[in-house]
Structure formats: C-alpha cells, structure tokens
Homo-oligomer: A and B are copies of this chain.
Amino acid sequence: MTQDEATRDRVVRVADELFYTRGVQAVGMDAVRAAAGVPLKRIYALFGSKDELILAVLRHRMSVWDAGIAAEAERAATARDRILAIFDFLDAWFREPDFRGCGFINAFGELGAASPAVTEAVREQKSTFQEYLARLVAETGAPADLAPQLAILAEGAQTTAAISGTPEAARQARAAAVTLLDAAIHHAGDLVPG
C-alpha cells in the first residue's frame, strides 16, 4: 500500500465514523482534518471535494458491511442458518452503543434528494444485499419470492432499532423470518388455503 493509499484509507475511516455518528452535513471538512490528522490540502488532493469523500466513505462502508455479513454467515452450515445468521448479525450490531441505524438509509434520507450519486450508491448496496439473500433463498429451495420479503424484514429491523433505540427489532425480525422460511419450505408449491 502506497503512502497515498494509506492516507486515503485513514481519512475514509475517520470520515466514516464522524459521518455516521453526527450526520454527514453536520461534519465539516475541518473536523475530518482534525480527526484524521491530515492537512486539508492533502485531503483535497486525494479526494477533490467533500462529495467525492462522501462517496468514498459509502463505498468503504459497503465493503465493511459485506465482509461482516459474510463472516457471520460462513459460521453457519446450512443456507437456512446463514439466512438467520444475518438477523443475529443485526442483533449484535444493534447492541453496539453507537449504533445509529443503517448508514446508507441515513445518507439517503439526508442527501438522496440532492445527490443522484448518493442515491445510486445506496441503491447499489441494497441490491447487493438482496442478491446475496436471493442466492441463500435459492439454496434452501424456497420460492424466490421469499428473498425480498426477508430483505424487507432486515431493512425494517434496522430503522426500527435505530429509532426506538432498542435492539429488540432484531429478535422480532428473526422470528418473522423463521415463520416465513417455514411457511415457504413446508408449503412450497401449495396455494394458500382460503
């Protein structure tokens, strides 16, 4: 890793934490400079603008999220357990003291109306997650319709936990996921009785 890459990485990590904790617009570039210990001139040489830094932060957060989900999932043996591991992952995350909701949803609410690039980045991370879920659902043999339903549960759990300030949404979403999985697998191919 070159010096530039190391500095870039450091700035992105620091900015990510600040943006997530306080909100993007509430954090000035000077706060990033102070926290990263990197001169403004250097930051602007590396990123060009705050908007570019924001996108770099979103990309970084996306890779961290993907790695975290994958790490939690690979400890489970079956696809069904890997799906449920996602909700255990959420549970642990919600209990972290500085949990403040999904950074992508927050960024979308804050900047999505004004920035198509932010919207695009957020949309990309959500669709990556949905595709991951779709693969797991396919492995279980359940109908493909199940995947977006589980994704909606995961999204809802994140906002509910953030706003309520409690982690219980993870457990509730997990229970719902179990019900949906059981219904999809046990009754696969059946019509819902009237």
Give the oligomeric copy count. 2
Q: How many A residues, CB 8 Å from partner?
A: 52
Check A7 for interface membership: any CB of B closer than 8 A.
Answer: no
A150 CA to B159 CA, complexed, in Å: 14
Check A39 for interface membership: any CB of B closer than 8 A.
Answer: no
| Interface 9-mer from A51-59, A64-72, A171-179 | A171-179
Contact partner of A105 among B148, B152, B159, B178, CB < 8 A?
A: B159
* A104-132 at interface with B (beta carbon < 8 Å): 104-114, 119, 122-123, 126-127
Check A12 for interface membership: any CB of B closer than 8 A.
Answer: no
* A134-193 at interface with B (beta carbon < 8 Å): 145, 148-149, 151-157, 159-160, 162-165, 168-169, 172-173, 175-176, 178-180, 182-184, 192
A76 CA to B113 CA, complexed, in Å: 35
A178 CA to B152 CA, complexed, in Å: 14
Q: B172 contacts A145, CB within 8 Å?
A: yes
Question: Which chain B residue has the least Cβ–Cβ distance from A149?
Answer: B176
A179 CA to B177 CA, complexed, in Å: 11
The 10 closest A-B pairs by CB, nearest first: A156-B156, A109-B109, A106-B109, A152-B156, A155-B156, A149-B176, A110-B110, A148-B172, A23-B113, A179-B183
Known: A100-B113, A108-B109, A179-B180. 9 other contacts (CB 8 A): A100-B112, A106-B110, A126-B160, A145-B175, A152-B172, A153-B153, A156-B156, A179-B183, A179-B184
